[in-house]
Amino acid sequence: MMKYLIWISLCCASCVPVRQTPTGENRQPAFDGRETARYRVTIQMRKASITGIMIVKHTCGEWRGSLVNEFGVKAFDFIVGEEKCRLLNVIPFLDKWYIRRILARDLILLCEGGEQRGRYLERLPGGGFLLKNEKQHIEYTFQPVKQ
């Protein structure tokens, strides 16, 4: 009887899919570990676009940042840590639950690295990078600001 139970448990254990963690280049976060980084950002959507400056800082194991447009109006603040994202002070036209969810998932990919279905991170020449969200048809372009 014990042999059969062990055999059944081994068979069932082999049927459970094993989640493999991404390795190599895809696991690297887009933002580097510098104290403070500034990027010129363009977010292209189907019918609209947002441009501005994103300031990102890595402190206490978390990424903290803010997106501000050219006129000084803050679009949103964010905190990303341990594969969770909190959006704070979101501008009213972006403050919808579905937009917040998409932004949060995209920011997790940027800050933590890894792979997500339908989202791809590409390195650009000059230290910039491009994040494509193919499902929602959104492209985020980041170019470092020369200080």
Q: Whose CA is closest to 133, among 109, 97, 98?
A: 109
Assigned domain for 16 exists: no
Query: The domain containing residue 43 runs over which residues?
Result: 26-144
136 falls within a domain: yes
* pLDDT single digits (tens) 99-138: 999 999 999 998 888 778 889 889 898 889 999 999 999 9
Residue 140 lies in a domain: yes
Domain count, the chain: 1
In this structure, which long-range contacts are made by residues 78-87, counting pairs with CB atoms below 8 Å and at least 24 apart in sequence? 78/103, 78/104, 78/107, 80/107, 80/108, 80/110, 80/111, 80/112, 83/108, 83/112, 84/108, 85/111
Q: Which range, of 26-35, 54-63, 80-89, 125-134, averages the lowest pLDDT? A: 26-35
User: Do the domain assignments include residue 60?
Assistant: yes
Closest CA to 145 of 50, 16, 56: 56
In a domain, 99, yes or no: yes
Q: Is residue 59 part of a domain?
A: yes
Of the listed ranges 31-40, 52-61, 97-106, 111-120, the least confidently predicted one is: 31-40
Q: Do the domain assignments include residue 12? A: no
Tell me what the pLDDT averaged over the chain comes to: 81
Residue 130: the pLDDT is 93
In degrees rounded to 5, what are phi and psi of residue 25? Answer: -65, -35
- For residue 88, the domain's CATH number is 2.30.31
Pairing of strands 62-68, 49-59: antiparallel
Residue 1 lies in a domain: no
Q: Which residues contact 134 (CB under 8 A, 6 or more apart)?
A: 118, 119, 120
Burial of 143 by CB count in 10 Å (0-12 exposed, 13-18 middle, 19+ buried)?
A: middle
Burial of 25 (0-12, 13-18, 19+ CB in 10 A): exposed
Whole-number Å distance between alpha carbons of 113 and 139:
17
Residue 34 scores a pLDDT above 80: no
pLDDT bracket for residue 33 (50, 70, 90): low
Cα separation of the two ends of the chain: 72
Q: Which of 6-10, 14-18, 29-33, 80-84 has the highest mean pLDDT?
A: 80-84
The one-letter amino acid code at 112 reads: E
